[in-house]
Amino acid sequence: MLQISYIRENREEVIDRLKVKNFGQLGLVDEVLRLDEELRSLKVASESISAEANSAAKKIGELMRQGKKEEAEAIKAQSASYKEQLKQYTEQLGPLEAKFFDTLVQLPNLPYHLVPEGKDAEDNEVVLQHGDLVELPEGALPHWELAAKYDIIDFELGVKVSGAGFPVYKGKGARLQRALINFFLDKANAAGYREVQVPILVNSDSGFGTGQLPDKEGQMYYVGNDDMYLIPTAEVPVTNMYRDVILKEEDFPIKNTAYTPCFRREAGSYGAHVRGLNRLHQFDKVELVQVVHPKRSYEVLEEMSLYVQSLLKELRLPYRVLRLCGGDMSFTSAMTYDMEVWSAAQKRWLEVSSVSNFETYQSNRLKARFKDADGKMQLVHTLNGSALALPRIVACILEENQTERGIKIPDVLVPYTGFEWID
RNA sequence: GGAAAGUUGGCAGAGUGGUCGAAUGCGGCGGUCUUGAAAACCGUUGUCUGUAACAGGACCGGGGGUUCGAAUCCCUCACUUUCCGCCA
């Protein structure tokens, strides 16, 4: 959520930057400013009545104590009208406040100055590419066929148990998953992230805090009986640990990592691009979340990007890094790097990580603040990144490393899997 | 699932209708003392909103009500804790 004070003072700039984000409803900016002004003038009026009512009440108290009953009664009679006036104001203020808030939350985050203008994925900027795009030999299989051939991932079984998008990992397939989770967590620990285990069902306050609610409601599975949501990413519970928290400057940087399953409804996604492991309703992910001083957040974003790249290098997967254009960025992000891995068999790039700086967009909702050196309250900056999402990594590992003999497990994973070959 | 109690400032914990934005303790900050530190002592210490600065306004789990006046009384919702039941 943007800060209204910032919009008030930087109207032109806000509009310009929203244009970079390809935001279609620029009129909302003036709408929110209009509501803000209306709201504030109404508040001034209502508060002056409150002030009068308060001082009258105080006076009555004093008179009563002095035993001057008649005088007190006289003021009492006058005071009766305040109540009616205040009631009228609150009746207007309530709906107006709601309208204001509804409008304000419809404004997405402002993109950072490095974010390129653009509509969609076509306009993303390729920052770098690493590793050769190996040509697989004739007869190489996509991962879903490899999964069937070695009987390690069973999509049909998942359909029976739950539905499409809920695969069952079997034998070495399951063990590879577990190995990757442990590998990613160990690496994150070594990089200074504290490991946390968090709930995967969250309440609506948490959904709001990180920006999934109210807009992305349809993306999440909702457990109506208990009014809870299955998390689409560990970002939600981990970042919400800092909701309503006042930090000290020396607490920074706060680095947490969590492994969780993630659940996404992905309504309306079908076709070749969602085949196999490409897009699932349930998948595993190790997530990084940092809470940092505003001055350092872009430094930290680079650091996180490099960290994610180091994982991909260790796994020997060719990858590229994209800086997302305004139009392709998420609602809440100020700048995002996507890491994509080359799927040799599908001959296309697959997103395996997304690293974002949210600046104060989340912390303003979360009320996650710190006292700065001058003793003033400031909103923290929050960042997160996948390190990494498993399914597409698994897909690429299977495809890249297929040989006549079987699938060769990358060296760094062997201590974790306990086997070198899937055959 | 049943029963009871509770929700107050960074934390602990007083406060049952007016001088309560809230005692006290801890913690934090500043100072005295000390070569330095600790202890002790003194002072200070909530958030949001608003103003050029004052002033003013709001906040004692959320919402509503009673009253001239509510942390305090009433209604309602949510959550937490404890005991019993069930259970990995």
CB of A53 under 7 A from strand B? yes
Token pair in block for residue A345 = 């068999």
CB of A81 under 7 A from strand B? no
Question: Residue for token digits 């809870």?
Answer: A228
Structural domains in chain A, sorted by start = 4-104 (1.10.287.40), 121-422 (3.30.930.10)
Strand partners, A319: A130, A341
Residue A34: its pLDDT value, please? 93
Round to whole Å and give the CA distance between A247 and A142: 48
Q: CA–CA distance from A14 to each of A22, A30, A64 (Å)? A: 12, 11, 55
Round to whole Å and give the CA distance between A391 and A364: 33
Per DSSP, the residues of A247-258 read EEGGGPPEEEEE
Identify whether the C-beta of residue A198 lies closer than 8 Å to the C-beta of residue A260: yes
Strand partners, A336: A356
Token pair in block for residue A15 = 């509009």
The residue whose CA lies nearest the C1' of nucleotide B28 is A248
> Which positions on strand B lie below 7 Å from a protein C-beta?
10, 18-19, 47-50, 56-58, 64-65, 67-69, 79
Which pLDDT band holds residue A298 (cuts at 50, 70, 90)?
very high
Nearest nucleotide over every DNA/RNA strand to the A4 CA, judged by C1': B49
Q: What three-state secondary structure class fits A153?
A: strand
CB of A5 under 7 A from strand B? yes
First-to-last C-alpha distance (Å) of chain A: 51
Q: What percentage of chain A exceeds 90 in pLDDT? A: 68
CB of A171 under 7 A from strand B? no
Give the other-Cβ count within 10 Å of A97's Cβ.
15
Round to whole Å and give the CA distance between A54 and A96: 24
Beta strand pairing call for A377-379 and A369-371: antiparallel
Round to whole Å and give the CA distance between A368 and A362: 8
Which pLDDT band holds residue A267 (cuts at 50, 70, 90)?
low
- Indicate whether A346 pLDDT > 90: no
Round to whole Å and give the CA distance between A420 and A408: 6
CB of A49 under 7 A from strand B? no
Show the 3-state SS of A31-44. Answer: HHHHHHHHHHHHHH
pLDDT digits (tens, 9 = 90+) for A171-188: 999 999 999 999 999 999
pLDDT digits (tens, 9 = 90+) for A37-68: 999 999 999 999 999 999 988 888 888 877 78
Q: How far is the CA of A92 from the C1' of B23 (A)?
A: 39
- Rounded mean pLDDT of A13-27? 94
Token pair in block for residue A123 = 């306009």
Which pLDDT band holds residue A75 (cuts at 50, 70, 90)?
confident
Residue A268: its pLDDT value, please? 62
- Rounded mean pLDDT of A244-272? 85
Nearest nucleotide over every DNA/RNA strand to the A80 CA, judged by C1': B68
Show the 3-state SS of A302-316. Answer: HHHHHHHHHHHHHCC
CB of A60 under 7 A from strand B? yes
Sequence-ordered strand ranges (E) for A131-253: 153-154, 168-169, 194-195, 201-202, 222-223, 228-230, 246-248
Ramachandran class of A316: left when φ > 0, alpha when ψ lies in -120 to 50, beta otherwise: left
- Indicate whether A272 pLDDT > 70: no
User: What interface predicted TM-score (ipTM) does this complex get?
Assistant: 0.85
The least confident of A7-21, A72-86, A277-291 is A72-86
Strand partners, A386: A287
pLDDT digits (tens, 9 = 90+) for A200-238: 999 988 999 998 888 788 889 998 888 889 999 999 999
Which pLDDT band holds residue A83 (cuts at 50, 70, 90)?
confident
Q: What three-state secondary structure class fits A200?
A: coil
Residue A269: its pLDDT value, please? 63
How much is the mean pLDDT over chain A? 91
Q: What three-state secondary structure class fits A396?
A: helix
CB of A64 under 7 A from strand B? yes
